[in-house]
């Protein structure tokens, strides 16, 4: 095998691997977004403003913040299981 095609194949593989890492990196830091989209996907009737406010509360990470997020979502009639899962996602460390 000649050197140029081998070199091209290695560079192509490296570019694809790095592209995948760069694509995944922003998602790892989007915990309030994960909370928000969990609420809206699983309970479309939820008020987006309430969900955003609750997820930002939960993003603080301490247990009181998770409870505040949960009760905020429950006030908007989001089912308990969905609210708890979303608030836990918001509080995950970045």
Residue 14 confidence (pLDDT) above 70: no
pLDDT of residue 30: 44
pLDDT of residue 85: 94
Instruction: Give me the sign of the Cα torsion angle 71, 63, 42, 33.
Output: positive
Taking only the tens place, the pLDDT of each residue in 17-67 is: 555 444 444 444 447 899 999 999 999 999 999 999 999 999 988 899 999
CA-wise closest residue to 83 among 93, 73, 92, 75: 73
State pTM to two decimals: 0.65
Residue 4 confidence (pLDDT) above 80: no
**Tokens at residue 51, please?**
């969900």
**Hey, where are the domains in the chain?**
31-91
């Amino acid at each position: 095998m000649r050197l140029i095609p081998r070199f091209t194949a290695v560079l192509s593989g490296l570019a694809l691997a790095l592209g995948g890492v760069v694509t995944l990196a922003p998602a790892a830091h989007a915990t309030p977004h994960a909370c928000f989209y969990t609420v809206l996907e699983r309970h479309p009737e939820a008020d987006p403003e309430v969900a955003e406010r609750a997820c930002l509360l939960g993003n603080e990470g301490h247990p009181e913040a998770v409870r505040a997020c949960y009760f905020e979502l429950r006030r908007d009639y989001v089912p308990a299981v969905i609210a708890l899962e979303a608030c836990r996602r918001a509080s995950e460390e970045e």
